[in-house]
Amino acid sequence: MTVTEGENRRAAFDITKGTRPVKALSEAEVEECLDLSELLDGLEDGFRRLELGEVQSPPRPEITVPGKGYSLSMPAWAPGQQMCVKIVNVFDGNLDIGLPNHLAVITLFDPETGAATCIMDGTYITGVRTSGAAVLSARLLGRTDARVATVIGAGVQGREHLRLLPLIRDFDRINVCSLYHEDARDLADRFELARAVADTEAAVRESDIVCLATYSETPVIDPSWVGPGTHVSSVGVRPPGGELPTALAAEHKLFVETLDAFEPPQVGSAELAGIDPAHGTTLGAVVVDPRRGRTNDTEITVYKGMGIGMEDMVAANLAYRRATAAETGQTYNW
C-alpha cells in the first residue's frame, strides 16, 4: 500500500493517548444515580437481548488468593451501551475488619475507540443487580395475586430484596428471617412492609414468593415447606454447598440467567450439580416467550442466580447516563 505525497499522516510511534476526560463515581454517587424501577426494566431488556444473541457476556475467569479470597473478572457489551468490565473481589475475612466481603470496581469504555470513559465503585451495583435479577424472576414467574413474600437472610442481599420487592407486587407483608433473629428485626424495622419472623418454616409455608439471600453452605429451607404456586429464588453463593435444596431445583421448573449456571463454581452453582442443563430455562427465554415461564397457578417455579456481566453492564450504564446528565461525580483528565 502506498501513501499519496502530502497526505496528512502520523506514524503510530508518534501517537500517544495524552489526557482524556474520565468520570469517577463513588459508591454513594452510584446509588444516587441508579433508579431501581429503571434497573428492573433494564435487566428485563438485558435478558431479552442476551437470549437474542445481542449481548456479549462471557463466563467469568477467576484468580484465587489462598486462605484469603478470590477475584472475578466480568466483562459485557451490547450495542448502544458502553463496554463494561467489573472486577469483584470476594474476601470473607473483610467482615471482621469492617469491610464488605464483596468489593468491586467497574470501568466503562467507549465502544467506538476503546478509551475509558468512567470508573465507578461496583460494590453497590454488585448487591443491587443480584437482587434485581432475583426480583425480576419473581415479577416474571410469580403469581400475579402474590400477597406474602419471605426473605431469608438479613445481609446486603436481604436489604436489597426488601427495597425491590414492593416494586413488583402489592404485598400485604414481607417476612424477614435470619440465622440471627436480632438482625432480621433490625433490618425489618427499616421497611414499612417488613416484619421479622423467628419461625422460618411458618414464614415459608404462608408465602407466595420466597427469596433465599443467605451465605449458607447448607440448605436453609426444606422443600416440603414450599406450597403449590410458590416462586422461590436463590442468590446465595457459598461453595461447596449452598442455600437452595437441590431437590427443589431438580423436581420443579428451574430458571437461570444462562446455562453456565450448570458449570462448577465459581462460574456455576454448586446446588445445580448433577442436574441436566436441559432442565433449565433462561430468564431471557421467558422474556422473549412468556409461555416458557409459569403455565398455571399451582406449579412451583425456582430461580437460581449466580450473577453475570450483562447485569453489571445494564446497571453501570444506567448510573453513568444519569450521572452524566446530572453532572454528578468528578471528571479527571487521565
**Residue 163 belongs to a domain with what CATH number?**
3.40.50.720
Q: How far apart are CA 194 and CA 176, in angstroms?
A: 7
Residue 195 and residue 179 share a domain = yes
Domain-located, residue 212? yes
CATH code of 27's domain: 3.30.1780.10
DSSP three-state, residue 101: coil
On whether both 163 and 71 belong to a single domain, the answer is no
207-246 CB burial, b ≥16 within 10 A, e <16: bbbbbbbbbbeebbbebebbeebbbbbbbbbbeeebbbbb
Specify whether 151 is located in the same domain as 295: yes
Q: Are residues 99 and 200 in the same domain?
A: no
- Find the helix or strand (DSSP H, E) in which 303 lies: strand 301-304
pTM for this structure?
0.94
Q: Residues of the chain with pLDDT > 70: what percent? A: 98
Our count of domains for the chain comes to 2
> Is 7 a member of any domain?
no
pLDDT at 10 over 50: yes
Among the listed residues 47, 41, 285, the one whose alpha carbon sits nearest the alpha carbon of residue 167: 41
Same domain, 169 and 96: no
**Residue 153, pLDDT score:** 98
Q: Looking at the structure, tell me whether residues 106 and 161 fall in a common domain.
A: no
Q: Would 321 be classed as within a structural domain?
A: yes
In a domain, 131, yes or no: no
Is residue 34 pLDDT above 60, yes or no? yes
| pLDDT at residue 1 is higher than 50 | no
Confidence of residue 240 (pLDDT cuts 50, 70, 90): confident
Residue with cell 453501570: 316
User: Which pairs with CB-CB distance under 8 Å and at least 24 residues apart come from 166-173?
Assistant: 166/193, 167/36, 167/37, 167/40, 167/135, 168/40, 168/135, 168/136, 168/138, 168/139, 168/142, 169/138, 169/139, 169/142, 169/144, 169/209, 171/146, 171/147, 172/147, 172/148, 173/148, 173/149
The 10s digit of each residue's pLDDT in 246-302 is 999 999 999 999 999 999 887 889 999 999 999 999 999 999 999 999 999 999 999
**How does residue 5 score in pLDDT terms, banded at 50, 70 and 90?**
low
Above 70 in pLDDT, residue 2?
no
Q: Which three cell numbers stand for residue 67?
A: 486462605
Q: Does any domain span residue 282? A: yes
142 in the same domain as 264: yes
Average pLDDT score, the chain: 95
Is residue 270 domain-resident?
A: yes
Task: Note whether residue 4 is domain-resident.
Answer: no
**Does residue 103 or residue 6 have the better pLDDT?**
103
Q: How confident is the model at residue 6 (pLDDT cuts 50, 70, 90)?
A: low
Statement to judge: residues 105 and 173 lie in one domain = no
Q: Are residues 146 and 285 in the same domain?
A: yes
In-domain check, residue 219: yes
Query: Do 154 and 207 lie in a common domain?
Result: yes
Structural domain for 153, as ranges: 137-306
The string of DSSP letters for 225-289 reads GPPTT-EEEE----TTS-SS-HHHHHHSEEEESSGGGGSPTTTS-GGGTTS-GGGEEEHHHHHH-
Percent of the chain with pLDDT over 90: 90
Q: Are residues 76 and 183 in the same domain?
A: no
* Alpha helices, DSSP H, located in the chain: 27-33, 36-51, 123-141, 156-164, 181-188, 200-205, 246-251, 283-288, 309-326
Q: Higher model confidence: residue 327 or residue 18?
A: 327
pLDDT 10s digits, 104-161: 999 999 999 999 999 999 999 999 999 999 999 999 999 999 999 999 999 999 999 9
Q: How far is CA 333 from the centre of its chain?
A: 32
Alpha-carbon dihedral angle through residues 238, 240, 245, 250, given to the nearest 10 degrees:
120
What number of CA atoms fall less than 13 Å from residue 213's CA on the CB side? 30
d(CA 39, CA 32): 13
107 in the same domain as 142: no
pLDDT band at 9 (very low <50, low <70, confident <90, very high): confident
